[in-house]
Every structure is written in structure tokens, then in C-alpha cells.
């Protein structure tokens, strides 16, 4: 069973979708103006189907948050427009991709203008007033792995510089099962931690370095065209089938769990410091666990201990010191206590996710605002030993992913997580037993999975224990030595 052979997929197969669509005049019209897409020579994913909608008057798009206007001010008028909703099973960052091209046709049957989607928005595809075309077919470029459309290669320069190739390499699969407002009702329940781990595993195997040559020319075969309503009805079945196929084909020992540097790579540098974060990235961590609390003057800072007693010459609670006082502390090796904002900037620069543990409740508004400001929903998990604090986070912004920390093997973490809407449970059992992996019994894991929850485990430094944990069905392992993961 593979994801490239869907002959056994029944109603979820591409063949079933395409075979159910009769030839119509609208379909023939859509075929006349299909875009030609130029892909990178190393592009791993190509479109499988295209949903079309024809507009003969202004109307809202059924598949994109915009209104189609045939005669907007200062634009060439069109008699009709064709919306092409282009389906891929995969974006390099997540399961499923839907990008759009809008072709506007004038009264002579010529291209009046062309627009295409770009990371949630859309752009006019004209360059210096001219549309790249082959006859009646506009030509667009597709961003490697991500598929956002451009009219010229230099449109991607800023993103190439900003991300440095991380989107198609380090971040492959980070988005898991993608859920947009369009399919929130149908796909929301499919986005579980287990499904996200399966997607990440598959896409990490597809990671690549783009050539940025756009030499692969792709024509949309008319056979791929279906009315948008048919594609829309098929998508949930397709996504569910893909997840189920991943579940059957990727055994637990092969699943790509998060490699989480505990307080950064804290075995190699002072914990929670910029040096520890940088070292974690160097040692191939996916995320860093950091601890956040508040200074006396309201600055969220990254430090574990509630008291400063371990630093020579300092004492008392962190919350009783100003940021100026805290920033002056040498925490070892010339390193300083960073602010949350500094840690976020550094993690974004290094391509690291963040596993943020709340050490005080007064940090919650600042942490939520930071996630919202930089749209970090797919890069951050907020954790706490206080379920009530996680309930506060969820009440403020339900999109933020949370994790319940607990120390005792005698509590019911499923009930705790369900009570506060958390997605993960995190046993902190490193000191409970000489062999804490034995507490992660198949029955315990199965119960957690049956509840739709993910599992992140304690920071583990013992190679023998790590070797066993790697074989279990978990979504993340923490370690002061992330290279051991």
C-alpha cells in the first residue's frame, strides 16, 4: 500500500472523482483557458485534480475568501471568469494543498487579466502589463513545495532570503493535517496529534532543496477538470483516506516524533539561554522547551527557576526583579536571560519550534499575544502543570495547541486534557522509576490515542531509555542532549 497508488481507495480515489464527471459546455470552456504551470525540476508533488467555477456576473468565490469582479475599476473588463481550484495531496509543509488561478476573459474570448493565489492572498499575474501565455492558456510559476503562484521567479526572492530553504527541508511536515476555514467542519476532527506525526513522518522523507529553475512544464489535462462542487465533496474522503493509509503503512518505530531540546541543548550550554537554543538547532532539534515567567515590570522572560538563588550574588523571586536587573545576570559563560520576544526571534531565525512551559499565570496574556502576533500556531505548543492555566490559554485563543504536564503515574491525564481542551499529555516520569518507559504500557498509550490525544515524554538522557522510547508510539521526546534523539 502506497500513497502513490490509490487504486484501492474506492470513492476517495482520484479515478473515482474524475470518472463521475460528465462532459459539459462549461467543462469545455474551462479546458480552453487552463493555466500552464511551471514547477521546479525537483518538485515532488504535482496537481491531481482541478475544480472549476465559471462566473458570468460578480459573485463570492465558493472556495476562496474573495469576491470575483468582472469589471472592477482600473482593470480590463471581462465577460466571464473561470476559477481553477487546483488540488494537490501534499504541500511540503502539510497534508493537502488547494491553490487558485482566476482567468478573466473579454468579449473577444481573449485573456483580459489573470490572478493567482499567494499564501492566503492573491496577485495579478501581469508583469509590466503583459500576461505570460501560450495561446489562450496563461503561464504561472509554482513555488517549490509550497505552490504559491508567481508571474516571475524574482517574486520568490524575499521568501528565499527570509526562510533560507527551511520550508522544504527542516520544516517539512510541520503543519501536519492542514485545516482551513473552508473545510473546518469536515477536517477539524481529523487533525489529531497522531495524524500530524504521520504527516510529518511522510513529508520529512520528501524534503528537498529546490533548484529554482522552473523547468518542469505542466499542462492541466482536461480530464483533471471537475466542477468545484464535486471536488469539494471529495476532499474530506480523500484526506481521511490519506491519513488512514499513513497509519497502516508507517509503524510506530518509524514515526518521526518531535526532537525537543529541553531548555535548549542544556547539556551543552546554560539552560534557557540563546546559546542553548542555538546549540539545539545545531544538534538537529525540531523544537526547544523553554520556561517563561514575568519580571517585576511586566516583561516575559525565559528562565526556569522561580528564585535566583543559584546565581552568585543574587536571591529572591524572579517576579520581584525588573528586566534591567535580570538582564544584568551572567547565567554562565557570559550568557544572559533572554526575553520571550528574543527567544521567539531566535527560534524563527533558526527554524525551531517552541514548547513553552508556563511558570507563572501572569505570563499567559503575553504568551498568547506573542503567538498571535507572529502567527505561530503551527510552531508552538504551550504546556503547564496547571490545567487551569491551559484552560485560560484556550479560552483566550482556542487555536493555540496545549499540553498537560503531570508527574504522578496515578493521575488520569486524559480527563485533565479533555477538561481543558488540551491536545497533548506529557508525563514527567524521569525520576519516578529507574526505567520509566515501562510505565508507557501499550494499554496506556492506546487509551491516550483513543481519546485523540498526543504524547510528549519527559526529558531523558539515558541512552538505553531513549532507545526504548524511540520505538514507542509517542509524538515527542525531550532531552538535554537532543543529538541523542
Could you read off the pLDDT of 126-152 as tens digits, one per residue?
A: 999 999 999 999 999 999 999 999 999
Cell of 402: 496545549
* Dihedral sign from CA coordinates of 321, 322, 323, 329: negative
pLDDT of 162 reads 84
pLDDT of 21 reads 85
Q: CB-based contacts of 184: which residues, under 8 Å, 6+ apart?
A: none
In the chain the domains, ranked by start, together with CATH numbers, are 10-251 (no CATH), 257-484 (3.20.20.190)
Is residue 365 scored above 80 in pLDDT? Answer: yes
Task: Tell me the backbone φ, ψ of residue 239, rounded to 5 degrees.
Answer: -65, -45
Could you read off the pLDDT of 160-175 as tens digits, one per residue?
A: 988 888 899 989 999 9
Q: Could you tell me which of 295, 289, 300 has the C-alpha nearest to residue 365?
A: 300
What's the whole-model pTM score? 0.92
Is residue 436 scored above 50 in pLDDT? Answer: yes
Is residue 258 scored above 90 in pLDDT? Answer: yes
pLDDT of 27 reads 96
Question: In which band, very low, low, confident or very high, does the pLDDT at 106 lie, cut at 50, 70 and 90?
Answer: very high
Is residue 183 scored above 60 in pLDDT? Answer: yes
3-state helix, strand, coil in the chain (%, to 5): 35, 25, 40
pLDDT of 313 reads 87
The whole-angstrom separation of Cα 366 and Cα 299 is 9
| CB hemisphere CA count around 139 (13 angstroms) | 16
The whole-angstrom separation of Cα 109 and Cα 84 is 17
If one counts every other C-beta atom within 10 angstroms of the C-beta of residue 222, the result is: 14
The whole-angstrom separation of Cα 432 and Cα 414 is 19
Q: Could you tell me which of 446, 422, 171, 378 has the C-alpha nearest to residue 406?
A: 422
pLDDT of 1 reads 39
The whole-angstrom separation of Cα 221 and Cα 48 is 10
The whole-angstrom separation of Cα 295 and Cα 355 is 20
Cell of 262: 529541553
pLDDT of 2 reads 52
Q: Could you tell me which of 311, 379, 319 has the C-alpha nearest to residue 345?
A: 379
The burial of 57, by beta-carbon neighbours within 10 Å (0-12 exposed, 13-18 middle, 19 or more buried), is given as exposed
Q: CB-based contacts of 199: which residues, under 8 Å, 6+ apart?
A: 94, 95, 173, 175, 176, 177, 243, 246
- The answer to whether residues 295 and 329 touch, using CB atoms and an 8 Å cutoff, is no
Is residue 439 scored above 60 in pLDDT? Answer: yes
pLDDT of 3 reads 63
Could you read off the pLDDT of 407-424 as tens digits, one per residue?
A: 999 999 999 999 999 999
Question: In which band, very low, low, confident or very high, does the pLDDT at 324 lie, cut at 50, 70 and 90?
Answer: very high
Percent of the chain at pLDDT above 70? Answer: 99
Could you read off the pLDDT of 276-319 as tens digits, one per residue?
A: 999 999 999 999 999 999 999 999 999 999 999 999 989 999 99
Could you read off the pLDDT of 192-222 as tens digits, one per residue?
A: 999 999 999 999 999 999 999 999 999 999 9
Could you read off the pLDDT of 333-362 as tens digits, one per residue?
A: 999 999 999 999 999 999 999 999 999 999
The whole-angstrom separation of Cα 94 and Cα 190 is 13
Strand partners, 140: 37
- The answer to whether residues 255 and 198 touch, using CB atoms and an 8 Å cutoff, is yes
pLDDT of 308 reads 93
Amino acid at each position: 500500500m502506497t500513497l502513490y497508488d490509490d487504486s484501492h481507495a474506492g470513492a476517495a480515489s482520484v479515478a473515482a472523482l474524475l470518472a463521475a464527471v460528465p462532459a459539459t459546455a462549461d467543462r469545455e470552456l474551462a479546458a480552453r483557458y487552463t493555466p500552464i504551470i511551471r514547477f521546479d525540476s525537483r518538485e515532488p508533488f504535482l496537481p491531481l485534480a482541478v475544480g472549476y467555477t465559471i462566473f458570468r456576473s460578480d459573485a463570492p468565490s465558493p472556495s476562496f475568501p474573495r469576491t470575483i469582479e468582472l469589471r472592477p475599476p482600473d482593470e480590463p473588463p471581462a465577460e466571464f471568469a473561470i476559477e481553477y481550484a487546483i488540488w494537490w495531496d501534499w504541500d511540503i509543509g502539510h497534508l493537502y494543498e488547494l491553490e487558485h488561478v482566476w482567468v478573466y476573459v473579454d468579449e473577444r474570448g481573449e485573456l483580459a487579466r489573470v490572478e493567482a493565489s499567494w499564501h492566503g492572498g492573491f496577485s495579478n499575474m501581469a508583469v509590466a502589463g503583459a500576461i505570460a501565455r501560450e495561446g489562450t492558456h496563461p503561464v504561472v510559476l509554482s513555488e517549490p513545495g509550497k505552490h504559491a503562484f508567481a508571474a516571475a521567479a524574482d517574486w520568490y526572492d524575499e521568501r528565499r532570503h527570509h526562510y533560507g530553504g527551511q520550508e522544504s527541508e527542516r520544516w517539512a511536515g510541520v503543519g501536519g493535517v492542514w485545516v482551513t476555514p473552508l473545510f473546518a467542519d469536515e477536517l477539524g476532527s481529523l487533525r489529531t496529534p497522531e495524524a500530524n506525526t504521520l504527516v510529518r513522518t511522510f513529508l520529512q522523507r520528501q524534503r528537498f532543496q529546490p533548484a529554482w529553475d522552473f523547468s518542469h512544464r505542466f499542462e492541466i489535462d482536461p480530464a483533471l477538470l471537475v466542477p468545484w462542487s464535486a471536488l469539494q465533496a471529495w476532499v474530506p474522503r480523500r484526506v481521511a483516506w490519506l491519513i488512514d493509509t499513513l497509519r497502516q503503512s508507517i509503524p510506530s518505530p518509524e514515526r518521526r516524533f518531535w526532537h525537543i531540546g529541553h531548555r535548549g541543548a542544556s547539556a551543552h550550554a546554560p539552560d534557557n539561554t540563546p546559546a542553548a537554543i542555538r546549540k539545539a538547532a545545531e544538534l538537529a532539534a525540531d523544537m526547544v522547551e523553554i520556561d517563561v515567567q514575568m519580571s517585576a515590570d511586566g516583561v516575559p522572560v525565559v528562565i526556569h527557576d522561580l528564585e535566583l538563588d543559584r546565581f552568585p550574588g543574587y536571591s529572591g523571586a524572579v517576579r520581584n526583579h525588573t528586566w534591567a536587573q535580570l538582564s544584568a545576570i551572567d547565567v554562565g559563560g557570559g550568557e544572559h536571560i533572554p526575553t520571550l520576544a528574543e527567544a521567539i526571534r531566535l527560534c524563527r531565525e533558526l527554524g525551531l519550534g517552541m514548547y513553552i512551559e508556563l511558570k507563572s499565570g501572569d505570563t499567559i496574556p503575553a504568551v498568547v499575544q506573542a503567538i498571535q502576533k507572529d502567527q505561530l500556531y503551527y510552531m508552538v505548543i504551550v504546556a503547564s502543570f496547571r490545567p487551569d492555566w491551559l484552560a485560560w490559554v484556550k479560552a483566550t485563543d482556542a487555536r493555540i495547541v496545549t499540553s498537560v504536564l503531570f508527574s504522578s503515574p496515578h493521575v488520569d491525564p486524559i480527563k485533565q486534557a479533555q477538561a481543558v481542551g488540551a491536545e497533548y499529555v506529557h508525563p514527567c516520569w524521569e525520576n519516578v522509576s529507574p526505567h520509566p518507559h515501562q510505565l508507557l504500557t501499550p494499554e496506556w498509550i492506546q487509551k491516550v490515542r483513543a481519546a485523540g490525544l498526543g504524547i510528549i515524554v519527559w526529558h531523558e538522557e539515558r541512552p538505553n531509555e531513549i532507545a526504548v522510547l524511540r520505538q514507542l508510539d509517542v509524538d515527542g521526546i525531550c532531552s538535554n542532549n537532543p543529538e541523542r534523539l
